[in-house]
């Protein structure tokens, strides 16, 4: 996998992620990418309902959320999370990337959209953009560099 | 089945398989399936409802599914493993989602349902109303099959 400069929170701690997808394979794939960016997976969920409870339990810095899921879809889950946590950073990650879906997700409070298959360089840039000033690229120590 | 419905699936399979498997996917045989669909290995089915209705079965023979899963996870995956089934579902989700996105851009509106494992040996027969087309893609890891049975939703089309 391509290597990326480590992204950390402003306080120097790893960015904490909640990964939501009904496919375990997809969750592992995204988790592998964000861990390569220096992030920490604090929770996983396979549907929208679990995503809401996992958000309350873990209060992550960012949620990476699939759209098409059983029980409760990602857009509805995003809306509910944002309703109770207006500062929640939610990035939708879906294979279905048509305009309507993207607009609906953004209207419900999602911050960005990444289409599957996820390219690590795109996900990295989106995370950096959505974290904004709350994240920084870690400066390598003399030993690392 | 009209080519406008099929082409997005060919393009999506081509792009997604090339991206995920890091190899060119060559399209092989395309056949009309008049008999009931006979599963080839691990199959995942996605249902769509709306202006166009039907189902797509994404089917990979078991050894190929295990090879693809091993490649994507970076570690050996046995043929019987759940990861092989998960991989087929996720590949189906990505290919079909991408095709659905292209069809939506053409103005068709519909809802896509999450992929489910298609465990039956035989699927439903195609009908006059809903033809079934089987496409084979030759990848570096083996053959991947896509069986598409879709039709225009006449009521919705007339309503518009």
Q: Which of A25, A68, A97 sits opposite B86 (nearest CB)?
A: A25
Q: How far apart are CA B68 and CA B94, in angstroms?
A: 15
- Identify whether B159 is part of a domain: no
Contacts of B109 in chain A (CB under 8 A): 100
So what's the pLDDT on residue A126?
98
pLDDT of residue A83: 97
CA distance linking residue A51 with residue A55, whole number of Å: 6
CA A45 from centre of chain = 12
B133 falls within a domain: yes
Residue of higher predicted confidence among B21 and A143? B21
The pLDDT assigned to B160 comes to 47
Question: Is some CB atom of chain A closer than 8 A to the CB atom of B31?
Answer: no
Write out pLDDT tens, residues A50-102.
999 999 999 999 999 999 898 889 999 999 999 999 999 999 999 988 888 89
* Closest residue to B20, CB basis, from A69, A100, A117: A117
Question: Within a domain: residue B76?
Answer: yes
Lowest mean pLDDT among A138-142, B37-41, B127-131: B127-131
How many angstroms separate the CA atoms of B133 and A33, rounded? Answer: 36
What are chain A's domains?
Answer: 14-129 (3.40.50.2300)
Would B78 be classed as within a structural domain?
A: yes
Of A112, A116, A125, A122, give the one whose Cα is nearest residue A25.
A116
* Partner residue opposite B105 with nearest CB, options A24, A28, A98: A98
Q: How many separate domains does chain B show?
A: 1
Query: B59 touching A, CB under 8 A?
Result: no
Is residue B141 situated within a structural domain? yes
The CATH number that applies at residue B13 is 3.40.1550.10
CA A66 to chain centre: 9
What is the rounded average pLDDT of the residues A35-53? 97
CB neighbour list of residue B123: distance below 8 Å, 6 or more residues apart: B36, B37, B38, B39, B57, B147
- Burial code (b: 16+ CB inside 10 Å, e: under 16) for B25-38 equals beeeeeeebeeebe
Q: CA-to-CA distance for A64 and A114, rounded, in angstroms?
A: 9
Q: Which residues pair with B110 in a beta bridge?
A: B50
Residue A118, number of CB atoms within 10 A of its CB: 21
Domain span at residue B71 reads 3-154
Closest CA to B66 of B51, B47, B49, B80: B80
Asked if pLDDT for residue A16 goes beyond 80, the answer is yes
Using CA coordinates, name the residue in chain B closest to A25. Answer: B86
Residue from B139, B101, B133 nearest B17 by CA: B139
Burial class (CB in 10 A: 0-12, 13-18, 19+), A134: middle
Q: What percentage of chain B reaches a pLDDT higher than 90?
A: 22
**Contact at 8 Å (CB) between B62 and B137?**
no
List CB contacts (< 8 A) between A94 and chain B. 97
Q: Tell me if B19 is assigned to some domain.
A: yes
Residue of A nearest to B72 (CA): A29
Report yes or no: A108 and A89 within 8 Å, Cβ to Cβ: no
Query: Which A residues, 37 through 96, put their C-beta within 8 Å of a C-beta on chain B?
Result: 68-70, 94-96
């Amino acid at each position: 996998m391509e290597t990326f400069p480590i992204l950390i929170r402003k306080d120097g701690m790893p960015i904490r992620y909640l990964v939501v997808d009904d496919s375990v394979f997809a969750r592992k794939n995204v988790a592998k990418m964000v861990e390569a960016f220096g992030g920490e997976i604090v929770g996983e969920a396979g549907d929208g309902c679990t995503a809401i409870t996992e958000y309350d339990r873990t209060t992550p810095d960012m949620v990476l959320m699939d759209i098409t899921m059983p029980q409760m879809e990602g857009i509805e889950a995003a809306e509910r999370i944002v309703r109770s946590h207006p500062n929640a950073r939610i990035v939708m990650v879906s294979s279905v990337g048509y305009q309507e879906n993207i607009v609906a997700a953004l209207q419900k409070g999602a911050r960005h959209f990444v289409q599957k298959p996820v390219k690590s360089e795109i996900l990295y840039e989106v995370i950096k953009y959505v974290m904004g000033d709350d994240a920084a690229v870690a400066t390598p120590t003399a030993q690392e560099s | 089945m009209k080519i406008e419905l099929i082409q997005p699936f060919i393009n999506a399979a081509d792009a997604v398989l090339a991206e995920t498997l890091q190899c060119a996917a060559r399209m092989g045989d395309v056949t009309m399936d008049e008999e009931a669909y006979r599963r080839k290995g691990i199959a995942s089915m996605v249902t769509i409802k709306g202006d166009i209705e039907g189902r797509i079965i994404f089917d990979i023979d078991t050894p190929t599914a295990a090879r693809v899963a091993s490649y994507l996870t970076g570690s050996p995956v046995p043929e019987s493993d759940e990861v092989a089934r998960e991989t087929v579902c996720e590949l189906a989700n990505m290919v079909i989602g991408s095709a659905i996105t292209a069809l939506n851009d053409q103005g068709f509106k519909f809802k896509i349902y999450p992929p489910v494992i298609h465990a039956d040996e035989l699927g439903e027969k195609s009908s006059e109303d809903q033809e079934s087309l089987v496409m084979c893609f030759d990848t570096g890891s083996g053959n991947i099959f896509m069986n598409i049975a879709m039709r225009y939703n006449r009521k919705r089309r007339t309503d518009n």
